[in-house]
Structures are given as C-alpha cells and as structure tokens.
Amino acid sequence: MTPAPGQISGDDQFFKDIYQEFYDTYRLGPADEIAIRVTGQPDFTLERVKVSPTGNVYHPLLGALEVAGATIPQLIERLTRDMSEYLKNPKVNVELLEANSAKIGVLGDVMRPGILVMNKPMSVLEAITASGGIADTGDKSGVVVLRQLRDGRAQTLKVNVKHILEGKAGAEENIALQAGDTVIVNGNAKKKMASILSLAGFGSFLSFVSAGRH
C-alpha cells in the first residue's frame, strides 16, 4: 500500500533515520569535502573545501581549522562560537559534500574481499553487494559484523543475509554499518565439502577431513 501524501512508512522512516544518524555522527577525516556557509557573508563562505591530510581546512576569517574527528553539528557549534568574536550573531551551516575517510572491511567468502570507502550510509547487504556478492562457498545465514566500541571493547553482531534476501527480515536486521566495521562472510563447510567431493573425488575428501582434525 502506498503511503498517503505526507505519510512515511515504517521502513522509509527507518532508512531516513539511518541517513540522518550517518550525517549527524560522521566524524570528519582527511579527503572529506565540506561546505561552510555563513548567511550574508559571502567572503567567509566556502562552497567546497577538502580536509587536508593533516585534518585541517583553511578559512579566510579563522585561518587553519582542525576539523578531523569532529562531527558536523560539533563543527557548526565551534564555528558559530569562534565567528561570534568577529561577527554579530553569525548563522553558520556546514554540509558534508563527500565522505571519503570512513572505511569498512568486507572479508571472507565474497567475490572481492577488501576495504570499502563508506561515503554514504551503507548496510551490511549493500557492503556485500559492493564486494561482488557472497561466493558459492559463503554462508548467507552466518554473516558477522565486528565493531570496535568507543570504550575499546569489541562487539559482534550476527546478520542472516539469507533472510534479508528472501524478504523475511525486518529493515532493522540489515544493520547500518559504522566506520571501522568489518563484515565477515564465513564459509559454508557443506558447500566446500561438496565441491571437493565432486571435483577431487572421495580420496581427497578423506584427506580434507583428516586435515581438519589437527
């Protein structure tokens, strides 16, 4: 059923919230591009500026600004405070134009394991798709997300991608990734053994089982 004008479905609201959280919590880093706009002050407005490798941008009023590690709301608050020393009630807005510093890892039984730049909100399924999808030997039901928490602890999140692909999972089960997450697609032992049986014969299968005991 199509939502009435002005009405947002539960799933739409869920993904809208993910996008909002991404932009509110994203911490700036090298190579990110932002816009800094000051209402009524074109000389102090920057429509596009790239964060340097050292984490700085140059502003004509404030000089070199260290922005790495700051969120957009934090940067708006800081710029508003600093510009208040020179301008009366400045109205500052900062926009994230390109997010290039946030990275995630996708490892295990995917077609192209490696590192991805998360330049927009990305779910587990989107990250796997961007890595070429799950290989034939991959276990769609046992995908794991490893996440480093701010207090240094590691968190393990399990995702049943098979249910997501079959439409049996809620939107919240397709976990929204955070910078630094690692997605691991475990191998499906049954499929691996089936491949060995069909390609290498029973003798090789026995060798495989024996090796697994050590």
- Domains, the chain, with CATH or none: 27-98 (3.30.1950.10), 103-192 (3.10.560.10)
With 70 as the cut, is the pLDDT of residue 198 above it?
no
Residue 40 or residue 153, greater confidence:
40
With 50 as the cut, is the pLDDT of residue 81 above it?
yes
Res 61: pLDDT: 96
Yes or no: say if 155 and 161 are a contact pair by the CB < 8 Å rule: no
> Does the global pTM surpass 0.85?
no
Yes or no: say if 28 and 52 are a contact pair by the CB < 8 Å rule: no
With 50 as the cut, is the pLDDT of residue 200 above it?
no
H/E run at residue 161: helix 161-165
Yes or no: say if 38 and 47 are a contact pair by the CB < 8 Å rule: no
Q: What is the per-residue pLDDT across 157-193, written as a single tens digit (0 to 9) for each?
A: 999 999 989 888 887 788 889 888 899 998 876 554 4
Q: What is the per-residue pLDDT across 2-22, written as a single tens digit (0 to 9) for each?
A: 344 444 445 567 667 777 888
Structure tokens at 115: 């590192």
Q: What is the CA radius of gyration of the chain?
A: 23
Structure tokens at 24: 């509110």
Residue type, 67: V
Pick the most confident of 65-69, 119-123, 163-167. Answer: 65-69
Taking residue 77's Cβ as centre, other Cβ atoms within 10 Å add up to 14
| 12-21, 23-32, 69-78: segment of lowest average pLDDT | 12-21
How high does pLDDT run on average in the chain? 82
Q: What is the largest CA-CA distance in the chain?
A: 82
